Amino acid sequence: MPLRFRPVAVLIVLTLSIVSPPAGAAPVLWNKLGSATEVQNSAFGPNLGFYAGGGFPDATGNPAYVPGVFGNGLTLGPGGYISQNRVHNVVWNTVNQYLNADRGTIEAWFKQNENPVGFSHGVYRVFDGAYGLGPGVGLWSDAANNALNFDVAFGGTDVGVQTNISPMNGTWIHLAGVWDRNGIGASADKLRLYVNGNIVAASTAAGWGSTIGQFADIAGGNDNNIAGKFAVDNLKVFNTSLTDFSDRFDESALPEPAGLTLIAAVLLPTLSRRRGPHDR
């Protein structure tokens, strides 16, 4: 009997990666920070805005963009700043609706072009910190101790760690601040600071509170000569305490996604025999 191909509908089960990671590891915010459009249209989570102004010592920063790790990064451009100004830049104005005081992670790429100097360019805020807008957690570089600082308070006792990053001035480095009241990665550490994926400082204290402020200053700084002294790129915030940052070189990397099983009907050519007079 002659043979021919006959299209037949066949069910095929496909396992695909969904865009969103598991609920426990989902970012609450991911913003690329590379332009005004990117700032105001987060890749994941709430959109960010720009500081709208306030009286002395607060001042409105002029956002500027420089080559970053991925596309552009965010910095402060020139402006009419004066010594002791707290120059605010990009603002997250719904922090208290998303952040978890019990545990979390803030990660970003950061470039410090030179050490902070008091009353000239004294503070570089990666994610709030000294003289910021008070969300209860901060990641910043400060002339006061010539160190990169990570601190959690949330209305309670300050718990902080520090490290010296001066030897890495002028280069992009990856930063991550992690907190967990129950211990990070089943360890005794309650607070950790990572640089380029390595733990550089940790604390076992956990006396911070549970009050989360509404606002956070991102890529803000202090004083009259603050313009262009640092930059921040690819900010991600999580409500889980992460310990592995090996994916930091992938701009869009998120914790391993869950699988999504789909059933699809696909037409496949199936070999069949032409029916003859004796076929049943």
Whether the per-residue pLDDT at 9 is higher than 70: the answer is: no
| Residue 255 pLDDT | 57
Residue for token digits 């280069």? 171
Q: How far is CA 7 from the centre of its chain?
A: 49
Task: Give me the percent of the chain exceeding a pLDDT of 90.
Answer: 79
93 is written with which tokens?
């104005």
Query: What is the DSSP annotation of 52-117?
Result: ---STTEEE-EEEEEE-SSSEEEEEEP-S--TT-EEE-EEES-GGGT--SSEEEEEEEEEESS--B
Query: Which of 41-45, 75-79, 216-220, 268-272 has the least mean pLDDT?
Result: 268-272
What pLDDT, in 10s, does the model give residues 31-40?
A: 999 999 999 9
| Residue 71 pLDDT | 96
- Break the chain down into helix, strand, coil percent, rounded to 5: 5, 45, 50
Whether the per-residue pLDDT at 8 is higher than 70: the answer is: no
Task: Give me the percent of the chain exceeding a pLDDT of 70.
Answer: 81
Taking Cα atoms as reference points, which of 205, 211, 165, 164 lies closest to residue 184? 205
| Residue 90 pLDDT | 98
What pLDDT, in 10s, does the model give residues 149-187?
A: 999 999 999 999 999 999 999 999 999 999 999 999 999
Decide: 152 and 184 in contact? Cβ < 8 Å: no
Residues 6 or more apart whose Cβ sits within 8 Å of residue 93: 49, 214, 215
Decide: 88 and 76 in contact? Cβ < 8 Å: no
- Please give the average per-residue pLDDT across 198-220, as a whole number: 98
Is residue 192 within a helix (H) or strand (E), and if so which, with residue range?
Answer: strand 191-195
| Residue 237 pLDDT | 98
| Residue 54 pLDDT | 87
- Name the β-bridge partners of 148: 141, 163
Question: Distance (Å, rounded) from C-alpha 103 to C-alpha 27?
Answer: 13
Residues 6 or more apart whose Cβ sits within 8 Å of residue 187: none
* Best CATH choice for the domain 25-261 from the list 3.40.50.2020, 3.10.180.10, 2.60.120.200, 2.60.120.10: 2.60.120.200
Taking Cα atoms as reference points, which of 211, 206, 163 lies closest to residue 183? 206
Whole-number average pLDDT of the chain: 87
pTM of the prediction? 0.84
Question: Distance (Å, rounded) from C-alpha 263 to C-alpha 12?
Answer: 6
What pLDDT, in 10s, does the model give residues 230-271?
A: 999 999 999 999 999 999 999 887 654 433 333 333 333 333
Helix, strand or coil, per DSSP, at residue 231: strand
Whether the per-residue pLDDT at 140 is higher than 90: the answer is: yes
Whether the per-residue pLDDT at 49 is higher than 70: the answer is: yes
